[in-house]
A = this chain, B = another copy of it.
């Protein structure tokens, strides 16, 4: 095993440094070394060490493992190991285990148009981007949920351990079912340094580390290198190898015992006692087995080994590099044809048990959801715009049955930061509780819906919810994340990383299309009645559409039936990020189920029943997207029709926001011909939008009629107030919209002054009314579509 590790380290150094002479069969020359030295050595030997030891456990137990590389910088290590075990050449046949293949392996690393320096989608066996730090542990748990056969090794770097998302995710152990879910074995790797600083967790006492993890509910085991005689004789490594091997065996035995005990408790009809899961704290030097010093400066066991330990390639350093690489004794590891010595190669697991070939992490075992017919949850009514319904509550009934139908497949969960009930998905609790392995109290028995086998995941950490769901998706399972709209920005950066993963994996044929990452954003900007300004931010949409169009979808269903249709669509879709914004408060309903399906299929369209331009060109287009703006746009249309019955108004509702973009920028985009047919090229378009109004301009600036579009939306105004006051202060209300139309339709500019004044007076009246009554005027509050 030590030799196997040496081979992985050798190949790691080779990837960072060498262009040619991969086996060092000839003296190392300048020409063999890459012109640009890029990559990260520091974390790599530790990652290789763990990989080799995990291989031993897999062989012994004949049971698969998933390797999550928290220190994603260790790209060369994961590539080296998947190459040694033979996974790599199955995916990349030209990188075979020959001398030429090894040379190509070395050259491609961090080379233009080669492979990235980090653990990446291109790396076999990886399901965790080596980009931003903080998500390895929540990914590990997300992968383990409903995967009882898998053991997930989560290597957490001590740099990463300083981040907030990682710190929060230690508590995931209160959500893992010891029988129905897989095992997670966290390995905190204390290698002591970050880019240019020591790490916090390596500089507190052993007692503090120990207590911290016991406090988090783990049983920490320590594997610490006591000696400083590295890199000299193989014997000096014996102790640490033995310690690691025995500790891993101990952990696996503890995990087995935990499962057996839990199974026994289940069989006895008792609740499962929350286990104290094992974890490993592994303390080994940064840049382990690398050069101790270069030109008098400390490298091994110091931050200088973080990236490329030395990159000024003069004669002395060519010599240093050669000595370093030869210290692994490649001639003992590889045959002259570059192949791996068979007695070493056989230490690796075989077939799908190789961590680089685990089908679960390549999405290869993903099953579609069984879907109930969403039509049966349809809201019915006699006339549009007259019945109030909580749209997300209707969605919750649908999700309840999705949950139910997939109970057997165990491939659907919903996630949220303490908001499932607040967001009106409560009906889901009829079929599944909220996962909870922390303590229970008497009061829970009444109606807290806590359950050890629940499939609703709630923790007040958007980061942890997102991490769990991403990994659940990445391993082929489905989910929905409901979140307050303003606070979804908490995971902006995680979304970025996931969207990049989706984009990159589209071009990797051995990775299967993943279930889409689905968000419901509710408790949205317009209905923060209990909260106010700090809870108002619709900007996630702006953030999302910066990412590649081929993986992004944004839906703003205006009512419950369109929300149902959108929900069905996104749950069937694959390899997108679907953002659905919908309301949870009682709101008017507009489309029958059939109309909703047609509308959602097109993504946008004229609502005939709300338009009166049937016999020709409109004078104005009233457009809208989102629940509240749709109501205000309709009410404005009503006001205009009352005052100007001959004004021809075309009412357009947009459900799929991406239809507004040009078709060459987004596959959902309308052609210019279609766009012009809807919005005209020369008539004023009032656009009432859910989010920041400039987003509409950003999406439509290339359209012919763009200069006629006038968008209203959230302009960062608002406090704790009434629902209607919120739209008034942002000028998205019916009176302001109607005034905007009067100001823009030529004929109304001439004859509309009187009406305009009346509408302005209404705004004053509104101000007076709420100041006195603390509530909206009945005529506003009780407004219904009257036609």
Contact = CB atoms under 8 A, between A and B. Distances in A.
A443 B304 CA distance: 12
Contact of A159 (B195, B446, B448, B460): B460
B40 A530 contact: yes
A549 to B, nearest CB: 9
A440 B503 CA distance: 44
Please tell me the size bucket of the interface on A. 35 or more
Given A198-B444, A486-B496, 12 more contacts: A35-B773, A40-B530, A112-B725, A113-B767, A116-B720, A159-B460, A163-B462, A164-B169, A196-B422, A205-B439, A213-B215, A546-B692
A754 interface: no
Contacts of A194: 418, 460
A112 B774 contact: yes
Contact of A419 (B195, B421, B706): B195
Contacts of A497: 534
Number of copies: 2
Interface string A149-160: 000000000011
A29 interface: no
A286 to B, nearest CB: 11
B534 A500 contact: yes
Interface in A65-102: 72
Which of A107, A159, A532 has the most CB atoms of chain B within a 10 A radius of its CB?
A: A532
Contact of A200 (B160, B459, B487, B771): B459
Nearest to A199: B460
Interface of A: 19, 34-36, 38-40, 72, 107, 110-118, 120, 129-134, 159-160, 162-171, 174, 194-200, 203-205, 208-217, 298, 301-303, 307, 418-422, 434, 436, 438-441, 443-444, 446, 448, 450, 458-464, 486-487, 489-490, 492-493, 496-497, 500, 503-504, 529-535, 537, 539, 542-543, 546-548, 692, 694, 697-698, 701, 706, 716, 719-722, 725, 767, 770-771, 773-775
A489 B165 CA distance: 13
A514 to B, nearest CB: 17
A729 to B, nearest CB: 9
User: When A and B form their complex, which 5 residue pairs have the shortest distance between CB atoms, in order from nearest?
Assistant: A131-B534, A212-B215, A164-B164, A167-B167, A203-B438
A720 B117 CA distance: 6
B198 A441 contact: yes
Contact of A543 (B197, B213, B420, B542): B542
A172 to B, nearest CB: 10
A530 B40 CA distance: 8
Nearest to A215: B212
